[in-house]
Amino acid sequence: MARSHGEGSISQRTDGRWQASLQVGGVRQTVYARTRKGAVAKLGELQRQASVSGRLPDGGQRTVADLLTLWLGAKRPNLRATTWAHYHLLGDTYILPVIGSVAVRKLTPERVQALYSDLQAQGKRRVAVLVHCVLGQALGMAQRWGWVAENPARRVIPPSYKAGRKEVWGPSGLAMFLAGTTDHWAHPLWVTALATGARPGELCALQWKDVDLQAQVLTVSKSLQRVGGEYRLAEPKTRASVRSIALPDEAVQALLRQKGQQALWRAEAGGSWQEWGLVFTTRAGAPLHRSTVLHTLARECQRLGLPAITPHSLRHLHASLLLAQGVAIPTVSARLGHANPSITLSVYSHAITGQDAEAALAIGRALTG
């Protein structure tokens, strides 16, 4: 056994790992590391916490499942309902089945790293990043509460994920889609999405009171959410998401068609009509389910022989077309409801390469003057 002054006790186990122990007030706690240096560092953290609180961290037999339950309860008042539900789903699906029964005080960085590695090996790189976010925050709370001496999620190589570039149709694909879906019930929704760049959830929450066809403008102020099987109109994603968007003539015509189509549906539904005041609805007046919008668009893409895109891709297509036409980035950013133009630039930099080439030609002409 090797001892250093003020370190407590440090020893190497038969399996090669190092362990360090500290006793305070008759309570002893042992931590483990792969190297002696690591054991010294962990012991130092134990000593720091003991000096602050006068006791050693003690999570008892509380498990990761216990921790997640408490953490989700603490976070709920400060999160949007959909975000909280998503965190809950991540825990139930990816964390609890693997480490839910593990005592928090026995959760090691190696165990956490293995969880992330398994998810990434399954091709779930984005899920791994989100799981790291949830688990890391929960374990941070356990550390603050004195359950553990350190947060094991801070001693791992964090997973990474980079979204691929959004692929959208060119002008010919867009023209084919619009011409081929003219008689489809969702055509007004698609045209409005293409003309405004609004998010799918924002369009599905759009109410007729938010639309001024005479002034050719609509106001985005809500987003449609579905939590626990129930729809609700909630605050939008960010403060910048609340915005007014000017409408081209094509969007006005699409919305007029939607108004007439909806009047027909209302008459057919009679007493079963569900009045939400929404612009885009089912034939019974109910809010549109996300999967309905997604699958309807996918079927039309397949029927027309076009590359499949998602409803959110119509937003990307809107932005890409504007930038390719030379519309200023701050203007596009405002239409999209981005918090600042730098977000727009980072997402759509590929769409302004043509403008950059034109800028190079322009400066060349100026230099040769």
Give the separation between CA 268 and CA 262, rounded to whole angstroms: 10
Over range 69-77, report the average pLDDT: 92
Residue 48 contacts residue 6 (beta carbons within 8 Å): no
Predicted pLDDT of residue 31 = 75
* CATH number of this structure's domain 64-155: 1.10.150.130
* Sequence-ordered list of residues with C-beta below 8 angstroms from that of 25, at least 6 positions apart, any chain: 54, 55, 56
pLDDT > 60? residue 368: no
Domain boundaries, the chain: 2-53, 64-155, 173-308
Q: What mean pLDDT value characterizes the chain? A: 85
Quick check: pTM over 0.95? no
pLDDT > 90? residue 178: yes
- Banded pLDDT at 365 (limits 50, 70, 90): low
Over range 193-218, report the average pLDDT: 93
SS3 289: coil
**Residue 76 burial (CB count, 10 A):** 14
What residue has token string 């015509």? 253
The answer to which of 35-39, 214-218, 327-331, 343-347 has the lowest mean pLDDT is 343-347
- CB burial of 160-193 (b: ≥16 within 10 Å; e: otherwise) equals eeeeeebebbeeebbeebeebbeeeebbbbbbbb
* CATH number of this structure's domain 173-308: 1.10.443.10
Over range 277-286, report the average pLDDT: 95
The percent of residues in the chain predicted with pLDDT above 70, rounded, is: 86
Over range 180-193, report the average pLDDT: 95
The answer to which of 4-8, 211-215, 294-298 has the lowest mean pLDDT is 4-8
Over range 299-306, report the average pLDDT: 94
